[in-house]
Amino acid sequence: MGHAELIEMMRRLEHVVALPAGHPNMRRAVIDAVSSVRSAFAEHRKVTEGSAGLYAGLIDSAPRLSRAVDELIDDHASISAAAAELQQHVHAEPDWLRERAGDLLRELARHRQRGADLVYEAYGTDLGGET
């Protein structure tokens, strides 16, 4: 799974979160969608972290970005924990599931944007700051 799959799984979760609270399969749909997000996000972590990951390449190209990379890695732990907690609460009230899934989606969106900004900062500008 790659970047596109993570985006698709996020869209799927967004869709099921919008189901009516009384929908007979709402809980199961949220849990299944979160499971898919977790799998796609685990793949994202494999691709980005570690000595051969995207983040190592960012630091090699722009060492000044190492703190920002560390923050993205911290995001990984936080997002993974939030997704795991959500998935463990299959019997929670629909409103709680919806609220926590929304929180997870917002965290993922912020993380994706921060990552995109960092890649642009590392590779999208030259030393003079112009593209």
Which tens digit of pLDDT belongs to each residue from 68-117?
999 999 999 999 999 999 989 878 888 898 899 999 999 999 999 999 99
Q: 17 CB contacts (<8 Å, ≥6 apart)?
A: 30, 33, 97, 98, 101, 102, 105
Tell which CATH architecture fits domain 3-123. Answer: Up-down Bundle (1.20)
pLDDT of residue 7: 94
Residues 3-17: pLDDT tens digits? 889 999 999 999 998
CA pair distance 57, 37, nearest whole angstrom: 25
pTM to 2 decimal places = 0.87
Dig out the tokens for 28 from the structure: 């199961």
Task: Summarize the confidence of residues 33-44 as an average pLDDT.
Answer: 95
